[in-house]
């Protein structure tokens, strides 16, 4: 049985010359649990020391319904102030465009300010990847594109991406950006398989976008599955995990990485040993049969 190709040690971020690890670490929950700067630094080190150089945050991470907007970025900024040399070791991605409690805002004035504020909180001169977090239906993509173009031209942002956009929204913004998008960040996991068949990953391959997978464990569900479907998916992952001596969660990341679009799972754990363990996903090998067995378990029915 032939094996699917394994990910390279580094991938280009879209068509940019920036090299990122094929698995990323996300900081959605970094500012929770009263985490100190030293504790946050330990997690950053865990990722970088394991060869994970792609770090994902957002301006809204830390927002708890009433306050905390910007807290995850600010905590990372404190880590970078304490250890400036860390900045050069990472490809730093953040996002904006969600205005708490919920409206989305991609008007020119708001986005310009959101990018400036992220730079200040992150204590950095440049954001390597700036992503629109969720689409603002009321913003014309031409207007959004102009601000993003300016951010790149002024050197504040190196590359651009989107998250939670439909394929048509991606096409429209990319058009007005003169094809400058390099990433798309939808939810993808063995429990959330829409992307494989709704055209999102096909579009990413067509446009040369790197797909980043948020919640690659289904928000942790794959680690402790409860429903019959989730248990069936976990069992299909366990077949490969046990054969190759890795944990189920590592198998779950590697299952996403086996897709030809070069999907980059974003590890969500805020535990150093689990972040480091994620790097083992580069070594896991998949046959077509094993890969499709997970998909079939997730579909809940056989393939036609
Ligand atoms: P996930 O990997 O699906 O879930 C991570 C959660 O699972 C953590 O709470 C973690 O807890 C828990 N977990 C339990 N057992 C685990 C194990 N053995 N290994 C690893 N984790 C385990 O990812 P996620 O946190 O939902 O999302 C990952 C990243 O995606 C975020 O940090 C963010 O960067 C990005 N994201 C983006 C969007 C968007 O709209 N663009 C939305 C959501 C997330 P512990 O911390 O205790 O390990």
pLDDT in tens, the chain (304 residues): 789 999 999 999 999 999 999 999 999 999 999 999 999 999 999 999 999 999 999 999 999 998 999 999 999 999 999 999 999 999 999 999 999 988 999 999 999 999 999 999 999 999 999 999 999 999 999 999 999 999 999 999 999 999 999 999 999 999 999 999 999 999 999 999 999 999 999 999 999 999 999 999 999 999 999 999 999 999 999 999 999 999 999 999 999 999 999 999 999 999 999 999 999 999 999 999 999 999 999 999 999 9
- Give 24 Cα–ligand 1 centroid separation in angstroms: 11
* Element of type H or E holding 274: helix 272-278
> According to the model, what pLDDT value does residue 277 have?
98
- Domain formed by 11-228+247-284, architecture: Alpha-Beta Barrel (3.20)
Q: CA–CA separation, 284 vs 291, rounded Å? A: 12
DSSP one-letter code for 192: B
The CA dihedral of 215, 218, 219, 220, to the nearest 10 degrees, is -120
- The CB of 163 under 6 Å from ligand 1? The reply is yes
Give the start-to-end residue ranges of the domains of the chain.
Answer: 11-228+247-284
Q: CA–CA separation, 147 vs 109, rounded Å? A: 8
Which residue's CA lies nearest to atom 37 of ligand 1?
214
Catalytic residue flag (residue 61): yes
C-alpha closest to that of 90 among 30, 25, 159: 25
Query: In the numeric block, which tokens belong to residue 80?
Result: 């970078």
Tokens 């601000």 -> residue? 147
- Give 109 Cα–ligand 1 centroid separation in angstroms: 32
- The CB of 26 under 6 Å from ligand 1? The reply is yes
- The CB of 214 under 6 Å from ligand 1? The reply is yes
* Element of type H or E holding 143: helix 141-153
C-alpha closest to that of 143 among 171, 109, 95, 119: 109
Q: Record the pTM.
A: 0.98
- Give 285 Cα–ligand 1 centroid separation in angstroms: 23
**Residue 202: C-alpha distances to residues 57, 153, 210 (Å):** 25, 29, 11
């Amino acid at each position: 049985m032939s094996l699917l190709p394994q990910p390279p040690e580094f991938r280009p971020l879209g068509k940019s010359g920036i090299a990122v690890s094929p698995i990323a670490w996300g900081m959605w929950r970094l500012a929770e649990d009263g985490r100190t700067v030293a504790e946050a630094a330990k997690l950053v080190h865990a990722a970088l020391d394991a060869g994970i150089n792609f770090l994902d945050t957002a301006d809204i991470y830390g927002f708890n319904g009433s306050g905390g907007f910007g807290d995850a970025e600010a905590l990372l900024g404190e880590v970078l102030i304490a250890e400036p040399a860390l900045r050069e070791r990472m490809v730093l991605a953040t996002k904006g465009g969600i205005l708490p409690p919920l409206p989305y805002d991609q008007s020119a004035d708001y986005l310009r300010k959101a990018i400036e504020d992220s730079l200040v909180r992150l204590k950095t001169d440049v954001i390597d990847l700036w992503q629109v977090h969720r689409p603002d239906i009321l913003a014309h993509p031409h207007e959004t594109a102009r601000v993003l173009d300016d951010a790149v031209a002024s050197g504040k942002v190196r590359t651009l991406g989107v998250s939670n956009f439909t394929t048509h929204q991606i096409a429209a913004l990319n058009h007005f950006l003169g094809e400058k998008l390099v990433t798309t960040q939808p939810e993808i996991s063995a429990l959330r398989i829409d992307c494989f068949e709704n055209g999102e990953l096909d579009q990413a391959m067509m446009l040369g976008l790197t797909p980043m997978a948020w919640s690659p464990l289904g928000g942790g569900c794959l680690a402790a599955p409860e429903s019959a479907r989730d248990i069936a998916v976990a069992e299909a992952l366990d077949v490969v995990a046990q054969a190759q001596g890795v944990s189920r969660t590592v198998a779950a990341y590697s299952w996403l990485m086996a897709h030809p679009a070069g999907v980059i799972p974003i590890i969500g754990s805020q535990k150093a040993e689990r972040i480091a363990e994620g790097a083992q996903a580069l070594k896991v090998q998949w046959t077509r049969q094993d890969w499709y067995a997970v998909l079939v378990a997730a579909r809940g029915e056989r393939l036609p």
